[in-house]
Amino acid sequence: MKKPSTPLIRRSCQCLAAVIALQAPLAQAELIGPEAVMAAQPPTQEQLDRAKVQQFLDSAALKDRLRAMGVGGLDASHRVDAMTQQEVHALAQRIDSLPAGGAFSDRDIILVLLIALLIVVAL
């Protein structure tokens, strides 16, 4: 038995085959390395905390202070690398709570005022 083929069915099949053939090259797959996967992921809280502590250790004033205490910059970095996640997080929180350079606390202001008052009374 012969299948009926009309020009409309034949033309529809050709168009469908052309559309499927044009869609095939759009699909693309490739292997990616672990570096690309790690770069695409946002940093974890531990990585952010370690970066904050390392940045704090890189400050010039702290390096001078550590050298005065006998601790080299590389030693300090190795010590931070050896810290646990909880220790690094606690240190990063303390860094955030430190006042900016030259900031006076309430106690410092009261002490300065008392000293100034004593000087005025003594003169």
Position 81 scores a pLDDT of 80
Mean pLDDT check: name the lowest of 5-14, 73-82, 114-123.
114-123
Higher pLDDT, 17 or 3: 17
Average pLDDT over residues 43-56: 85
Q: Give the domain ranges of the chain.
A: 43-97
| Whether residue 50 has pLDDT greater than 80 | yes
Higher pLDDT, 3 or 61: 61
For 50, list phi and psi in degrees, rounded to 5. -65, -40
Rounded to whole angstroms, what are the CA distances from 63 to 25, 55, 75, 97? 57, 11, 11, 20
Per-residue pLDDT of 65-105, as tens digits, reads 777 877 776 777 777 788 788 888 888 888 777 666 666 66
- DSSP three-state, residue 72: coil
The Cα–Cα gap between 99 and 66 comes to 19
Position 5 scores a pLDDT of 65
